[in-house]
């Protein structure tokens, strides 16, 4: 045997992507060089809120090298307003969930008002970026300043300045979900706690900023857009709409993309404006976002304030939870209710809570629009729930781990009906897993609770403050509506697979080659993948929301099944047997139990071609290609328990993460090496979020963290070694049994670290109910406690 019958799924194959990226031969959008290409710079608003009086571009337009200068008013005359950029909600959801939404849509360039610092006012196209930036500085911008609102509470206060006047309110979204009788069960609860939890604003911050290049071909009236995006088909749809072109004439490609994590997961105005300029000018046009722009105009995330009341009994059983929160959407709404709704339904986490209500209010503010970032509303939810569990434990003087054990859904209670609806409109059913086992394994991985408590007591004797914190979550992954795969038997016998999934470093070229190899009993080297290109498949959804491994593996499975039937029909004709007697083996199809009686996939491909001398049986049409668009029944539920041990310096407020463990379950593991990489990377982002990263605005709406010197991305010295424990309860909801894992790492660290710091500082009675954990605030709180 050649080893081809071995299952590739489950093996730590090294990545196919690496060689080009290691040698400088990768191609990111900024690397694209096209003949006669022009370069773009934007004139951006210096004010958070103001009415536009003039954006005079006469001097800019006359500057050396400038080809075109347009302001918002100019553009409005040339292009109809942009279409709805939001993810749609299924009618099952809109019928069942009490909600009301307004939908302010960001124009390609601001034309009446500016609503955040950095909002684009004008675009300059020139023969170099240097010339474009020089010209942008010559723009004469006059704005009438308006007072700014910089947080949701301010935006919702009576008399607040209104961002979108035609709505008459800054409250652009509201919904409530509920199960059980929250008021009655809270009233009857032996214990109640009320707290406010604040999860601050931070962002994905991929190392590659965004960028768009567009080229228009007049002969064929066709547009090609290269964008550093996670959603090529979504971009094609919107670009076709704005350009008023058939989708078939618009091609969107994502080249190598230098990280996404959600911030590249929706369509931005620049994605649409650059193609428009390319068509108007008849030359390729390129805009590469710089880091300052990225901080000022690419989506931020998180930024929620929760007011919660929890009721529980003497043993720590949670009886009821009542949550009301605000989400600061920034000036525009990118994803509708998606993030806030994620927060609401994920908040109960792995616990049995019979009576639960969450009420969300989404407010617009004079800040950068808020969108998805790894976790997309779940880190905020986990922070609230996991802090509450620790507060219950403190109130009852019990171990936080024990409160979790008493409330967690057990393995024998799976599948568990949560009594809420997911955003796909389906009832939430946790499909599989063992949450208590994950908890015990994560605790064991840091040396066990008993040993830690002994160590902690000894350290306190020496005036040192160490703490252990737990963060648990469950996560709906692999969300619909669909992903597709086209599977084709290439004439050379290789398996070609195309899909709208878009990688940004996950290693999809490797992972899907493994999956396809097993489907077809070929080597992964014989799998040809076409991803992130709308020319490769008619419809696609893209890579957001921990969905691609789940949805695309299923689409590949079903498309392969259909194609296999046809391949077997042709092979049976060639081998003069029945299709039922055939099996796939070693890049060929052979008769079961008859070694040597086989025909190669390459020969079958040739036999199935249209034309003379084919070997198809009658009734089988030509060609070997099948497409399947897989529509998941609903999401499949991943989960994890993170445990952190921290060391808090009481004089400097410095939090050092001494140990960190993650016990998680993402079902069938396709590639353990790449899986570990996803978890480690996500966890590092979560740790950065809670300890280092913060987007700070002053009261006038100026972003104070406009560079990476102010916005602190964790370095190699800031991130600890992360221990990982894999549980693998296969999902019953898809053929491969996989669950999504892309986001999970970033969900629990804020909760785990806050709980660990709170545990370390328990002698001072300090609660960590807001992020980020700032050293100066810890020092002040410790001083205040000591002087009491």
Partner 1 sequence: MSSPVEVRMIVNGTPRAGRCEPRKLLIDFLREELGLTGTHAGCEHGVCGACTILVDGVAARSCLMFAVQADGATLTTVEGLADGDELHPLQQAFHRHHALQCGFCTPGMLIAALDFLATNPEPSEAEIRDALSAVLCRCTGYQNIVKAVADAAEKMRAAGGAS
Closer to partner 1 by CB, 333 or 371: give it. 371
CB of 728 to partner 1, least distance (A): 19
| Residue appearing with tokens 């006469």 | 58
CB of 31 to partner 1, least distance (A): 4
CB of 407 to partner 1, least distance (A): 30
CB of 264 to partner 1, least distance (A): 11
Both tokens of 162, joined, read: 């209104």
Both tokens of 506, joined, read: 């996950």
CB of 543 to partner 1, least distance (A): 12
CB of 208 to partner 1, least distance (A): 4
CB of 38 to partner 1, least distance (A): 14
Closer to partner 1 by CB, 450 or 709: give it. 709
Residues in a beta bridge with 142:
54
Reduced to 3 states (helix: H, G, I; strand: E, B; else coil), residue 208 is coil
Closer to partner 1 by CB, 450 or 716: give it. 716
Question: What one-character-per-residue DSSP string does 106-137 give?
Answer: --SS--SEE-STT-EEEEEEESSHHHHHHHHT
| Residue appearing with tokens 């914190």 | 469
CB of 680 to partner 1, least distance (A): 3
Closer to partner 1 by CB, 31 or 490: give it. 31
Cβ(215)–Cβ(284) under 8 Å? yes
Per DSSP, 278 falls in state H
Both tokens of 331, joined, read: 């000036």
23 contact partners, CB below 8 Å, separation of at least 6: none
Closer to partner 1 by CB, 374 or 423: give it. 374
Closer to partner 1 by CB, 31 or 625: give it. 31
Per DSSP, 170 falls in state S
CB of 652 to partner 1, least distance (A): 19
Closer to partner 1 by CB, 173 or 749: give it. 749
Beta strands in 57-210 (DSSP E): 66-71, 98-101, 113-114, 120-126, 140-145, 171-179, 191-202
CB of 131 to partner 1, least distance (A): 9
Closer to partner 1 by CB, 20 or 58: give it. 20
Chain residues that interact with partner 1, rule: CB under 8 A = 14-15, 17-28, 30-31, 33, 64, 130, 134, 204-209, 256-259, 261, 290-292, 504-507, 673-674, 676-677, 680-685, 707-709, 713, 715-719, 721-722, 745
ω into residue 772 within 30 of 0, thus cis?
A: yes
Closer to partner 1 by CB, 330 or 505: give it. 505
Question: What one-character-per-residue DSSP string does 344-399 give?
Answer: HHHTTTTB--SEEEEEEEEE--SSPPB---TTTTHHHHHHHHHHHHHHHHHHHT--
Closer to partner 1 by CB, 433 or 744: give it. 744
The burial of 455, by beta-carbon neighbours within 10 Å (0-12 exposed, 13-18 middle, 19 or more buried), is given as middle
| Residue appearing with tokens 């509506």 | 481
Closer to partner 1 by CB, 485 or 662: give it. 662
CB of 568 to partner 1, least distance (A): 37
CA 658 to chain centre: 28
CB of 67 to partner 1, least distance (A): 17
Cβ(680)–Cβ(662) under 8 Å? no
Of 643, 604, 641, 639, which is closest to residue 624 (Cα–Cα)? 604
Residues in a beta bridge with 326:
305, 361
Closer to partner 1 by CB, 170 or 549: give it. 549
Closer to partner 1 by CB, 449 or 502: give it. 502
Closer to partner 1 by CB, 489 or 513: give it. 513
Reduced to 3 states (helix: H, G, I; strand: E, B; else coil), residue 417 is strand
Closer to partner 1 by CB, 719 or 728: give it. 719
Closer to partner 1 by CB, 286 or 423: give it. 286
CB of 649 to partner 1, least distance (A): 18
727 contact partners, CB below 8 Å, separation of at least 6: 433, 434, 437, 438, 441, 663, 664, 665
Closer to partner 1 by CB, 256 or 322: give it. 256
CB of 715 to partner 1, least distance (A): 4
- Alpha carbon dihedral 227, 231, 233, 238, in 10-degree steps, equals -70
How many angstroms separate the CA atoms of 334 and 84, rounded?
Answer: 9
How many angstroms separate the CA atoms of 567 and 560, rounded?
Answer: 10
Closer to partner 1 by CB, 503 or 540: give it. 503
Of 486, 490, 492, 507, which is closest to residue 562 (Cα–Cα)? 486
How many angstroms separate the CA atoms of 102 and 393, rounded?
Answer: 41
Both tokens of 539, joined, read: 């419809």
Q: How many H helices and E strands in the chain?
A: 21, 29
CA 255 to chain centre: 19
How many angstroms separate the CA atoms of 204 and 710, rounded?
Answer: 15
Q: Hey, how many other C-beta atoms are within 10 angstroms of the C-beta on 412? A: 6
Of 531, 524, 542, 544, which is closest to residue 476 (Cα–Cα)? 544
CA 12 to chain centre: 24
How many angstroms separate the CA atoms of 351 and 174, rounded?
Answer: 25
How many angstroms separate the CA atoms of 357 and 177, rounded?
Answer: 6
478: left (phi over 0), alpha (psi -120 to 50) or beta: left
CB of 337 to partner 1, least distance (A): 28
Per DSSP, 633 falls in state S
CB of 286 to partner 1, least distance (A): 11
CB of 269 to partner 1, least distance (A): 22
CB of 676 to partner 1, least distance (A): 8
Q: Are strands 301-312 and 191-202 parallel, antiparallel or unpaired?
A: antiparallel
CA dihedral sign, ordered 41, 46, 50, 54: negative
């Amino acid at each position: 045997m050649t080893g081809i019958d071995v299952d590739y799924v489950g093996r730590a194959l090294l990545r196919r992507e690496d060689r080009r990226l290691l040698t400088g031969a990768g191609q990111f959008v900024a690397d694209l060089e096209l003949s006669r290409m022009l370069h773009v710079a934007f004139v951006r608003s210096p004010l958070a809120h103001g009415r536009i009086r003039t954006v005079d571009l006469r001097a800019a337009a006359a500057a050396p090298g400038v080809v075109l200068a347009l302001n918002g008013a100019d553009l409005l005359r040339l292009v109809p307003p942009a279409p709805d950029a939001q993810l749609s909600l299924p009618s099952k959801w809109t019928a069942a969930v009490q909600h009301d939404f307004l939908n302010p849509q960001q124009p390609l360039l601001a034309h009446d008002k500016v609503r955040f610092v950095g909002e684009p006012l004008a675009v300059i196209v020139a023969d170099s970026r240097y010339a474009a930036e020089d010209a942008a500085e010559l723009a004469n911008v006059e704005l009438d300043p308006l007072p700014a609102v910089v947080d949701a509470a301010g935006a919702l206060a009576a008399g607040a300045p209104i961002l979108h006047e035609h709505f008459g309110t800054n409250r652009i979204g509201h919904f409530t979900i509920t199960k059980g009788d929250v008021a009655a069960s809270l009233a009857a609860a032996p214990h109640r706690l009320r707290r406010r939890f604040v999860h601050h604003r931070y962002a994905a911050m991929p190392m590659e900023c965004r960028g768009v290049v567009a080229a228009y071909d007049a002969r064929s009236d066709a547009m090609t857009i290269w964008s550093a995006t996670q959603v090529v088909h979504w971009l094609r749809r919107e670009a076709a709409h704005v350009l008023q072109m058939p989708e078939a004439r618009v091609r969107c490609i994502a080249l190598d993309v230098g990280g996404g994590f959600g911030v590249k997961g929706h369509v931005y105005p620049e994605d649409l404006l650059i193609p428009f300029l390319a068509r108007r000018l008849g030359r390729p046009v390129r805009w590469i976002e710089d880091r300052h722009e990225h901080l000022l105009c690419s989506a931020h995330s998180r930024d929620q304030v929760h007011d919660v009341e929890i009721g529980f009994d003497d043993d720590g059983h949670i009886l009821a939870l009542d949550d009301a929160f605000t989400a600061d959407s920034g000036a525009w709404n990118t994803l509708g209710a998606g993030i806030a709704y994620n927060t609401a339904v994920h908040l109960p986490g792995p616990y049995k809570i019979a009576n639960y209500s969450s009420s969300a209010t989404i407010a617009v503010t004079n800040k950068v629009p808020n969108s998805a970032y790894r976790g997309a509303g779940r880190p905020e939810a986990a922070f609230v729930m996991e802090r509450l569990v620790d507060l219950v434990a403190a109130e009852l003087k019990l171990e936080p781990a024990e409160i979790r054990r008493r409330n967690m859904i057990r393995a024998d209670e799976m599948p568990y009906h949560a009594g809420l609806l997911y955003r796909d409109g389906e009832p939430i059913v946790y499909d599989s897993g063992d949450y208590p086992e994950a908890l015990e394994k994560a605790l064991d991985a840091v040396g066990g609770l008993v040993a830690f408590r002994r160590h902690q007591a000894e350290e306190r004797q020496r005036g040192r403050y160490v703490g252990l914190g737990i963060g648990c979550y469950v996560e709906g992954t692999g969300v619909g509506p669909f992903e597709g795969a086209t599977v084709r038997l290439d004439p050379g016998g290789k398996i070609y697979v195309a899909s709208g999934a878009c990688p940004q470093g996950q290693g999809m070229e490797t992972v899907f080659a493994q999956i396809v190899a097993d489907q077809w009993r070929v080597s992964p080297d014989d799998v040809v993948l076409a991803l992130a290109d709308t020319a490769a498949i008619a419809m696609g959804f893209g890579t957001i929301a921990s969905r691609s491994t789940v949805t695309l593996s299923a689409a590949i499975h079903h498309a392969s099944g259909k194609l296999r039937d046809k391949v077997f029909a042709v092979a049976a004709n060639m081998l003069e047997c029945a299709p039922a007697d055939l099996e796939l083996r070693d890049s060929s199809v052979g008769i079961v139990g008859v070694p040597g009686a086989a025909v190669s996939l390459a020969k079958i491909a040739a036999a199935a071609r249209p034309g003379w001398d084919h070997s198809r049986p009658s009734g089988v049409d030509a060609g070997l290609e099948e497409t399947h668009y897989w529509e998941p029944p609903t999401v499949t539920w991943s989960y994890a328990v993170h445990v952190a041990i921290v060391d808090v310096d009481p004089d400097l407020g410095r939090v050092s993460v001494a140990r960190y463990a993650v016990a998680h379950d993402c079902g069938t593991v396709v590639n353990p090496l790449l899986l570990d990489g996803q978890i480690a990377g996500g966890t590092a982002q979560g740790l950065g979020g809670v300890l280092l990263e913060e987007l700070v605005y002053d009261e006038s709406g100026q972003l104070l963290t406009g560079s990476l010197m102010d916005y602190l991305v964790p370095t190699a010295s800031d991130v600890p070694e992360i221990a990982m424990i894999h549980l693998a309860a296969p999902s019953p909801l898809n053929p491969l049994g996989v669950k999504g894992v892309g986001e999970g790492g970033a969900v629990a660290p804020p909760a785990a670290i806050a709980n660990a710091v709170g545990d370390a500082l328990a002698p001072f009675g300090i609660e960590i109910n807001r992020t980020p954990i700032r050293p100066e605030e810890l020092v002040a709180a410790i001083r205040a406690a000591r002087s009491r």
